[in-house]
Amino acid sequence: MGNEACAEAALLAGCRFFAGYPITPATEILEVMSRRLPLVDGLCLQMEDEIAAVVAMVGASWGGAKSMTATSGPGFCLMQEGIGLAVAVEAPCVIVNVQRGGPASGQSTSTAQGDFYQARYGSNGDYSIIVLCPSTAQEMFDHTVKAFNLSERFRVPVIILSDEVVGHIREKVCIPDADQLAFAPRKAPTVPPEEFVPFKPDADGVPFMPAFNTGYRIPVISQAKSLSGNRGNAREADENIRRIVAKIEDHLDEFADVQVYGDPKAETAFVTFGSVCRAARSAVDMGREQGLALRSVEVKTVWPFPDTLVRKALAGAKRIVVMEMNLGMLQREVERVIRQPKIKIELFSKIGGIYPQPQEFLRFLEEKR
C-alpha cells in the first residue's frame, strides 16, 4: 500500500522517531512504524492526540533524530500551530497528510483533495514550506525519501500531501538498496560552542543545527528572534522572517517537479495533482485511441507553487482543464500563472468522496466544447 511504502521509505531515510494518533486513512503508517521502529533502535509513540504528536516530533528533531508524523484532515487541523512552531524553530521533520473528505470529520473513508491551501497557509504568519504530492505508491516511497532530504537540507518541516487513493492503493513498489540512494546529512556546527551563533545562516540562509546535550547552548523559542535565538527587536524579527521564507523560495529550482504525460504539444491540456494524475493519464491514453491529442500536466511539488515549470509545461495549450477533487483550489493557481485572456482555465471538479473516472474527463471535453 502507499501508506506502507511511505513507512518503508522513512525507515530507509533514517527516521528513528514517529509520533502519531490513529486516524483513517493514515493509520497504516502508524501501524507499520510501531512494528518496525523498535527493530532499528527507533521509538514510536501513540500520543493522546495530534497536537501532542506534532510537538513530540519537533522535540525529537531537536534531540537529534530524524522524525515524522502522519495524519488526515481533522488531525492536520490540530497540528497547524505545531507546524508553525517547527517552522519558527527550524526543526527538520516530515508530516504526512493522507487527505479525506471534509470539512471537519467529513468522509473518513473517502478520498479528497481539499487540504491544498491548508498545507501551505494553515499556520499563522508569514513563512514558506515545502509540500510534495505523490500520485502512486512508488511516488509515495520516492517522495518520502525526498521529503527527509529536503527537511534536513533546509531545516524546514516538509509535508507529503497524499490522499486516500494513494494511501490505500496496492501496487508494485521498487525499494532500492540504501547505497543506491543519497541521504542529506544534518548540518552540524563547524565551530566550538563558545563561538557558535545559534541562528546565523550559511550562504543558503540555513543555520547549522547541533543536537541537544552536545555542549551547545541554544534558546529554542517560537517567537521572532535574533541570531542568538532570543527575542529580537523589530529589525531582527523582519530579517528572520524574510530569511525563513527566502531559504525556501530562492531554492525552488532545486526540488520543484512538474511532469508532462502524453503529447507535449497537444492543444488540450489537463492539469492535475495527487491521485487524479492517474485518471488523467488513462484519459490521455483513451483519447489517443480515439485520435485525440491530449497532455496531462502533473504538479508534483505544489508548494512553493512552481510557476515557471507549470507555465513551460502548458506552453502552446489553447484549452486548459484543471481536474481536481475540490472546488477549484489548483485552478486558482493555474489562473494566476497563465494570464492569457484568450485561454479560459476550465474546472472539472469531483467531490463527495467519489474518485473521477477517465471516461468523465473525455465526456467533459465533449460536453464543454
Let me know: does 281 contact 259? Beta carbons within 8 Å: no
CATH, range 259-367: 3.40.50.920
Phi and psi at 151, nearest 5°, equal -65, -40
pLDDT at 273 over 80: yes
pLDDT at 305: 98
The answer for residues whose C-beta is within 8 angstroms of residue 55's C-beta and 6 or more apart is: 82, 85
Stretch 94-108: mean pLDDT: 96
**What three-state secondary structure class fits 209?**
coil
Let me know: does 70 contact 6? Beta carbons within 8 Å: yes
Best mean pLDDT range from 2-6, 211-215, 225-229? 2-6
pLDDT at 369 over 70: no
Residue 229: pLDDT band (50, 70, 90) is very high
Instruction: Give the whole-angstrom CA distance, residue 91 versus residue 60.
Output: 9
Domain ranges in the chain are 2-180, 259-367
Instruction: Give the whole-angstrom CA distance, residue 118 versus residue 98.
Output: 13
Strand partners for 347: 322
Let me know: does 141 contact 9? Beta carbons within 8 Å: yes
Number of CB atoms found within 10 A of residue 182's CB: 7
Residue 211: pLDDT band (50, 70, 90) is confident
pLDDT at 368: 78
**What three-state secondary structure class fits 18?**
strand
Q: Is the model more confident about 344 or about 241?
A: 241
pLDDT at 333: 98
3-state helix, strand, coil in the chain (%, to 5): 40, 20, 40
pLDDT at 361 over 90: yes
In the block, which residue shows the cell 508534483?
300
When the pLDDT of each residue in the chain is averaged and rounded to a whole number, the result is: 96
CA angle 276, 282, 286 (to 5 degrees): 145
What Cα–Cα distance (Å) separates residue 191 from each residue in 47, 90, 135?
Answer: 37, 20, 43
Instruction: Give the whole-angstrom CA distance, residue 296 versus residue 164.
Output: 21
pLDDT at 195 over 80: yes
Stretch 230-234: mean pLDDT: 94
Number of CB atoms found within 10 A of residue 67's CB: 31
Stretch 63-81: mean pLDDT: 97
Strand partners for 345: 320
What are 102-137's pLDDT values in tens digits?
A: 999 999 999 999 999 999 999 999 999 999 999 999
Which three cell numbers mark 182? 543519497
CATH, range 2-180: 3.40.50.970
Which three cell numbers mark 359? 471516461
Let me know: does 152 contact 66? Beta carbons within 8 Å: yes
Which three cell numbers mark 13? 531515510
pLDDT at 34 over 70: yes
